Amino acid sequence: MSFDNDITEAQKETNRGGDFWKPEEGDNKIRIISEPAMTVSVFFPKEKKSKTCYKGAEYCTDEFLEKNELRRQVKFLTYILVDNTIKLYTMPYSIAEQLKALKDDSTVGTGFENFPVPFDTVLKVKNAGSKEVDYQLVSARENTEVPKEILEKLETMDSPEEVVEKMKNKALETASQNESEEQATAEDSPF
């Protein structure tokens, strides 16, 4: 399963509503409305798929990664508000760093303590869909309240942490099924 498929599966298995969001080339106005939760995966280029890491996953060990010349991908799941619709967003690490800088900044007035972020942001994207993609997260520096009905709906949805946990459980379940199938095939072999 690819990382996107993991997200799709997690969407089916979680009470989260909305759609999975991907930024487009240019300016993307969003409001980050939940604290991001870290997720770690490994991308397998030959198979063009990612696997979510979970405790004990062999493919996430340093030894396996070094031997196969792979690396971990750290991203953050969060809920965002786009056109007054709640969507789940897998935020690349580089954007998470920029969000933290906005959160911690006390010099230009973007600092904040808790989520949701008290202002809209603009995610500027160049070279979308390529390895050379460039992201810049800037504040749309006007504080506004998140509509009450959006916050109420968000309260009924699984948190990003719960979605990440379900993704890990799904990856573990898939790995266990694959092991069982491999073992059954080996036992059925006449050799």
**Which of 90, 162, 95 is closest to 124 using CA atoms?**
95
Dihedral sign (CA 92, 98, 102, 105): positive
**Which of 157, 152, 7 is closest to 77 using CA atoms?**
7
Q: Give domain status of residue 156, yes or no.
A: no
Element (H, E) at 162: helix 160-188
Q: Are strands 72-82 and 49-52 parallel, antiparallel or unpaired?
A: unpaired
Q: Give domain status of residue 132, yes or no.
A: yes
Taking only the tens place, the pLDDT of each residue in 7-45 is: 555 555 544 444 789 999 999 999 999 999 999 999 999
Q: Give domain status of residue 89, yes or no.
A: yes
As for how many domains the chain has, the answer is 1
Domain limits for position 84: 3-149
pTM over 0.75: yes
Q: Give domain status of residue 172, yes or no.
A: no
Q: Are strands 20-21 and 85-92 parallel, antiparallel or unpaired?
A: parallel
**How many residues can be counted in the chain?**
191
Q: Give domain status of residue 54, yes or no.
A: yes
Which residues of the chain carry a pLDDT beneath 70?
1-18, 108-109, 141, 180-191
**Residue 20 to residues 78, 86, 167: CA-CA distances in angstroms?**
10, 9, 14
Q: Give domain status of residue 169, yes or no.
A: no
* N- to C-terminal Cα separation, the chain: 31
What is the reported pLDDT for 181?
A: 67
- Residue 166: other Cβ atoms inside 10 A: 20
Q: Give domain status of residue 87, yes or no.
A: yes
Q: Read off the DSSP letter of residue 159.
A: P
Q: Give domain status of residue 171, yes or no.
A: no
Instruction: Name the one residue in this structure whose structure tokens are 């911690």.
Output: 104
